[in-house]
Chains A and B, each alone.
Chain A
Amino acid sequence: MSKGAGVLTFLILLLGAGCGSEKKAEEGGAEKECDSAPAAMTGQPTLPAKFPAPDNVIYTGQKKTGPSSVVSGFRDGELGDAFDAYKSAFDSAGYQVTDSEKEEDDAEVNFAGGNSTGQVKMIQSCKDRTSLAITIRPQ
């Protein structure tokens, strides 16, 4: 899969998950079986200095949005594990976790560090996979 297609797939996933949030109680992503995983992006995304990557995170693309950028990816496993892993990884990397919230099917960890601020948005897209969208804003 090309990088563009990977990003598109992720955006559709994210959009789908978001649209479904109004009726989350009926169809939680955690109950769906996973399709085949999106392909990893070629190379590595451009991330702030010492930006942490918890184990098993696969990046699938990066998109520039004005001054900021959004890195997409996924991590095999449940949402709660990804949430804990990112919080812990930010602490270890010397970043500040400015805010965090975990709900049933999605979670956010907001960070400051590496001359940037931003958010790791996590969505349990299916039974054993957590989709990631990392927004990075320069400071």
Chain B
Amino acid sequence: MRAAAAFALALVVLAAGCGGHASSGNRTITIVVDAPFSRSPYIGNTVANGVRLAADQLNAQGISADGKAYRIRVVRIDNALSPGRAVADTRSALRRHAVAIVTDGTGVDATWQLANQQHVPICITYQGGAGLVDPKARPNVFRIAPTDHGLAFRLAEYMVPKRLKIAVLTDDSDYGQAGRTSLDDAFRTVSKSVVARITLPSSASDLAPQVLQARRSGATALLVWALPPVLAKTVVAARSAGWHVPVYATPTAEDPVLRQQLADHPSWLDGLTFGSGRMTAELGSGPWSTFEAAYESAFGATLVGVKSQGKRVISPPDYAMYSYDCANLIATAVQQAKGTDAKKVLAALNQVSIHGANGDERGFNEINHEGVVDDDVYFARFEHMVFRPVKDDPLSSTLPVINQVR
């Protein structure tokens, strides 16, 4: 009897794992979110919540492909910013018959081939490294996030006309080194604008020596491409030395960690300018506001942990918008492929498009797997712990201010 029960249980488990059917009888679209939940909770939760929100909305409205009902199941796996962990996570995702993997980008250099062997698409929604996406060499890798190429060129286009003497500071993380490559490329033809190129050791507790080196180079601006804690230490080193040099940065400046670490000296953050992907599209802020309201209704506002003029500061879910769009594209591809056959879904991803969370059209094609164009990078500047689009850039000056206090 016990053997029979065990056999029956094994059959049930096997059916659940291999059949792709949920207990309700619906078929399952499994999307694995591989993100750094333990090492960078802000990024991890941002990526996962975007997918979760899309899944909940799609499940509520019903997904049908080839006349059959489907439900999306979201599985979260922590890569801890480790490429090794990302490889193990990818194997786990493949064992779970994932239809797609949505990731911040950690370890994709090592994981894409594994996933590609089974035609499973990977969608990157945070890292912008130049080599991560290549439709010819890596046909299963897609991205919806600003690229390093776009950020680096837009930063150069914004900063060089100001006649600044720029010290480029990049940290020794994969993120910083990928940024260094893109910045070298962007400043190649305007190299006279760069007076120093300095590497920031991520593990250092004090970056005063590196900041002093930048100061002695005659720099009149710092361009920092680094993880949030390193960016924070750079600002602290400059300001505590009484150096009020303008600081320019990348989207890591939005990470709550930066503001938390500068909470004792909020004025040190004032004026810091960073490039990121525009939140609203040409047709206005309506779609973005709808998305943001749905996000906050589902997960609550992301509290930064600091106040601005007495009010609690929140972080807008701009990067969650990208993973939300990825999940919607994956579901649309399943519908076009008439099921979850990996090869057909991968092919369909090159054809489908959707109206994204902000109203922009999102989609890929066989020659382009990038969902955010370079020209959609805008600039924002901090003041009183919140940021708003700058006025001295043609694109940024047209964008609305997104409320960041509650």
- Spell out A's residues near B (CB within 8 Å): 11, 14-15, 18-19, 21-24, 64-68, 96, 98-99, 101, 103-104, 106, 108, 110, 117-119, 121, 135, 137-138
Contact = CB atoms under 8 A, between A and B. Distances in A.
A114 to B, nearest CB: 15
Nearest to A117: B374
A138 B397 CA distance: 25
Given A24-B284, A67-B160, A119-B374, 16 more contacts: A21-B283, A22-B284, A22-B400, A24-B283, A66-B159, A66-B193, A67-B153, A67-B157, A67-B187, A67-B190, A98-B367, A99-B373, A103-B282, A117-B374, A137-B153, A138-B189
| Majority SS at the chain A contact face | strand
Q: Which 8 A-B pairs have the closest CB atoms?
A: A18-B398, A66-B160, A98-B368, A66-B156, A66-B157, A65-B157, A119-B375, A67-B189
B296 interface: no
B187 to A, nearest CB: 7
A96 to B, nearest CB: 6
Contact of A101 (B284, B361, B368, B374): B361
B158 A121 contact: no
Chain B interface residue number, banded: 20 to 34
Nearest to A14: B394
Contacts of B398: 15, 18-19, 21
Contacts of B193: 66
Interface in B58-84: none
A108 B281 CA distance: 12
Contacts of B365: 99
Contacts of B373: 98-99, 108, 110, 119
Interface string B283-299: 11100000000000000
Nearest to A121: B375
Contacts of A98: 367-368, 370, 373
